Amino acid sequence: DFERDLDPESTTTFPATLSELTERLKHWKNILQSNVEDRFPAVLKLEEESKVLRDFHMVDVEIPGQYFSDQEIAPDHTVKLDRVGADVPIVRRHGSSFRRLTLIGSDGSQRHFIVQTSLTPNARSDERILQLFRVMNQMFDKHKESRRRHICIHTPIIIPVWSQVRMVEDDLMYNTFLEVYENHCARNDREPDLPITYFKEQLNQAISGQISPEAVVDLRLQAYNDITKSLVADGIFSQYMYKTLPSGNHMWAFKKQFAIQLALSSFMSFMLQIGGRSPNKILFAKNTGKIFQTDFHPAYDVNGMIEFSEPVPFRLTRNMQAFFSHFGVEGLIVSAMCAAAQAVVSPKQTQHLWYQLAMFFRDELLSWSWRRPLGMPLAPAAGGGSMNPTDFKHKVTTNVENVIGRISGIAPQCFSEEEENVMDPPQSVQRGVTELVDAALLPRNLCMMDPTWHPWF
């Protein structure tokens, strides 16, 4: 049936328009997805999948990830691997399927790791960015304002097994932001893609060139406003968390931790100009509020400079704003971002940050030069890379200075009393971050985002 429906030579059944084709493909996707979920087990047994791993006798194999903390672990306190858990759950997230292994330690603790295969060339960027996060966590720990707010970026462990396989630490309570929306649609018997379809239908005039480019923005804004009024409410995430968490105490603790984690993710997105934060790439733990973002690394243009073309500085959309309320956004998120910015550009740490960023961009740009975009001119090779040393050093330095300039622009400034008296009216120390938050929440900016980014959610 599927082949007959999508055979271009069969003029009787093949869709006449792209929208009809999309509908047909969505219909078959739902059928195939339900078949997979109904026919295949959610949990595999280790003895059936790998008898070798089940019977393997571990001798002095340590549980990975114990040496990422600052404290040195005494040899007699090192947790050894006792065995691998008997159950291997299948984890399905946004069209991809993974196996989750449970490593049981000699102290009875359990660590969960997802096995990822068929890695993209950007996979090593994830490890580099987590190394940078760990260094920044040390900086946050040494600064008064960030330390008293318990600011710490969540950094799961990534273990490269070989070039095409790695293990990534996972939490049993992880959920993607998109799953919240899809869960709401399933409960209310709605089509999840309805806002996207409606948005594209409203913009058909713009595609056909019937209206001027200036009017396109107003058209997008009108479509965005229609969707927010009738199709996607701003309380979906709040309802989901109120149903998930058992009491008000849990909700308060989750909300505070989630706000700080979101503030740090937003700060890193702005600092390194990382875009593409669609809701399926945001994982959060429903019990702790910790956030982990997939594909979280900068993109580079043909000159090796960070490329960013999104109208919003980071993702802070209506449902998040409604969940935190006005007090959470202005209180927790803004103050956490300010404290993070102030910590990394404080006089004692700014030089340290400069060198760490230089190492990060050096490795990133070396990797980027090896997978050069199509059409980029060849430069004289140097040390395995594809740029001469002077040009390469200039690219690294420029990127580092741009990043530090962005942080300094939003970090609270310390003024003497004489300088404060000169300013009229007095300036808020948080104005840089407040302007970014306003830009992220502004409907005119949000409506310019791609519909698959779900700006209305």
DSSP string over 127-175: HHHHHHHHHHHHHHHHSHHHHHTT-------EEEEETTEEEEE--TTEE
Domain boundary among 116, 143, 165: 116
Q: Is residue 111 part of a domain?
A: yes
Q: Is residue 23 part of a domain?
A: no
Considering only residues 263 and 428, tell me which one the structure prediction assigns the higher pLDDT. 263
Separation of alpha carbons 304 and 301, rounded Å: 5
Q: Is residue 36 part of a domain?
A: no
Question: In 3-state terms, what secondary structure has residue 429?
Answer: coil
Q: Is residue 395 part of a domain?
A: yes
170 with 275, same domain? Answer: yes
Q: Is residue 38 part of a domain?
A: no
The H or E element spanning position 261 is helix 248-271
Separation of alpha carbons 447 and 452, rounded Å: 12
324 with 235, same domain? Answer: yes
Average pLDDT over residues 374-403: 72
Average pLDDT over residues 408-433: 72
407 with 355, same domain? Answer: yes
Q: Is residue 135 part of a domain?
A: yes
Instruction: Write out the two tokens for 106.
Output: 């000699």
**Nearest Cα residue to 427 out of 442, 419, 340:** 419
Question: In 3-state terms, what secondary structure has residue 178?
Answer: helix
Considering only residues 123 and 324, tell me which one the structure prediction assigns the higher pLDDT. 324
Question: In 3-state terms, what secondary structure has residue 307?
Answer: strand
Reported as a pLDDT band with limits 50, 70 and 90, residue 379 is very low
Q: Which structural domain, as residue segments, surrounds residue 333?
A: 120-370+388-414+427-456
Residue type at position 30: N
274 with 315, same domain? Answer: yes
Domain boundary among 90, 116, 142: 116
pLDDT in tens, 25-60: 888 888 887 887 778 888 888 888 888 888 877 778
171 with 260, same domain? Answer: yes
Q: Are strands 165-169 and 158-162 parallel, antiparallel or unpaired?
A: antiparallel
431 with 340, same domain? Answer: yes
Domain boundary among 85, 116, 147: 116
301 with 321, same domain? Answer: yes
Contact 167, 115 (CB under 8 A): yes
Reported as a pLDDT band with limits 50, 70 and 90, residue 418 is low
pLDDT in tens, 269-291: 999 999 989 999 999 999 999 99
Q: What pLDDT score was predicted for residue 273?
A: 94
Instruction: Write out the two tokens for 242.
Output: 């109120």
Rounded to a whole number of angstroms, the CA Rg of the chain reads 25
Least confident window among 32-36, 108-112, 246-250: 32-36
59 with 206, same domain? Answer: no
| Total tally of structural domains belonging to the chain | 2
58 with 202, same domain? Answer: no
Q: Is residue 376 part of a domain?
A: no
216 with 100, same domain? Answer: no
Considering only residues 428 and 221, tell me which one the structure prediction assigns the higher pLDDT. 221
Separation of alpha carbons 394 and 81, rounded Å: 46
State the DSSP code for 92: E
The H or E element spanning position 299 is strand 299-300
The pTM score is 0.87
CA angle at residue 420 from 418 to 423, to 5 degrees?
Answer: 115
Contact 365, 372 (CB under 8 A): no
Q: Is residue 5 part of a domain?
A: no
Q: What pLDDT score was predicted for residue 208?
A: 66
Q: What is the mean pLDDT of the chain?
A: 86
pLDDT higher than 50, residue 378: no
62 with 191, same domain? Answer: no
pLDDT higher than 60, residue 20: yes
Separation of alpha carbons 275 and 280, rounded Å: 13
**Nearest Cα residue to 135 out of 68, 228, 218:** 68
pLDDT in tens, 338-366: 999 999 998 888 899 999 999 999 999 99
* CB-based burial label for 13 (10 Å; 0-12, 13-18, 19+): exposed
pLDDT in tens, 136-179: 999 999 999 999 999 999 999 998 888 889 999 999 999 999 99
**What are the residue ranges of helices labelled H in 272-333?**
318-327
Contact 283, 176 (CB under 8 A): yes
pLDDT higher than 80, residue 381: no
129 with 105, same domain? Answer: no
Q: What pLDDT score was predicted for residue 419?
A: 56
Q: What pLDDT score was predicted for residue 80?
A: 86
